[in-house]
Amino acid sequence: MTSVFDLAPEAPVVPVVVIEDATDAVPLARALVAGGLPLIEVTLRTPAALDALRAIADGVPEAVVGAGTVVSAAGVADAVGAGARFLVSPGWTERLLGAMRESGVPFLPGVSTVSEVVALLERGVDAMKFFPAEAAGGVPYLKSLAGPLPQARFCPTGGVSAASAPAYLALPNVGCVGGTWMLPPDALAARDWARVESLAREASALRVPVSGR
């Protein structure tokens, strides 16, 4: 199966989007795509989330939209039915992992311990979300995993900022980072899509060349 990291390999950051009003979904996604961040995670935290996901899938074909905060088999089915092209969970269970596998779309199960990483590797899963990244040990923690578990690749999410993202992206076992700093609440409240696009463009420039890793 294709990895989430292969869906938009040029995008260093996955915007983690919480949408309260589905009518904001399309202009928000267009701003992120225009800024160079086509891989968009819509979190299933609000009543509008599935409608927002569906609107982006239908109205912004250049976006690669997925669902985040997927915590149940029902959530997997709902997200894929709404057009999600990838799935992200904050953690995993056998049942949730099975549902994500059966969905047919790439997925990132969440981990925060070495045992969880090893358990996923045993099950043939090597693409993971590291969450909550900063609280769980941050860059030093992931750096320490690269030696004994080089086959595991991560998308650190949770407390990652514009200032800390480059250090994560410089690690050989990090494929991208997830973040919200390009989505400041005041800009979203004002529907200032031009500002979102500008911040997304800055974030899209954070990619560290492979030759420099």
Q: What are phi and psi of 86, to 5 degrees?
A: -160, 165
Task: Give burial (CB, 10 Å; 0-12/13-18/19+) of 170.
Answer: middle
Q: Which of 10, 41, 116, 143 is catalytic?
A: 41
Give one DSSP letter per residue of 49-107, joined into a string.
HHHHHHHHHHH-TTSEEEEES--SHHHHHHHHHTT-S-EE-SS--HHHHHHHHHHSS-E
User: Is residue 143 among the annotated active site residues?
Assistant: no
Q: Which of 20, 116, 129, 134 is catalytic?
A: 129
Cβ atoms of residues 93 and 113 within 8 Å: no
For residue 55, count other CB atoms closer than 10 A to its CB.
Answer: 23
User: Is residue 129 among the annotated active site residues?
Assistant: yes
For residue 60, count other CB atoms closer than 10 A to its CB.
Answer: 20
Joined together, the tokens standing for residue 119 give 């358990």
Compute the C-alpha angle 86/90/94, nearest 5°.
Answer: 85
Active-site amino acid positions: 41, 129
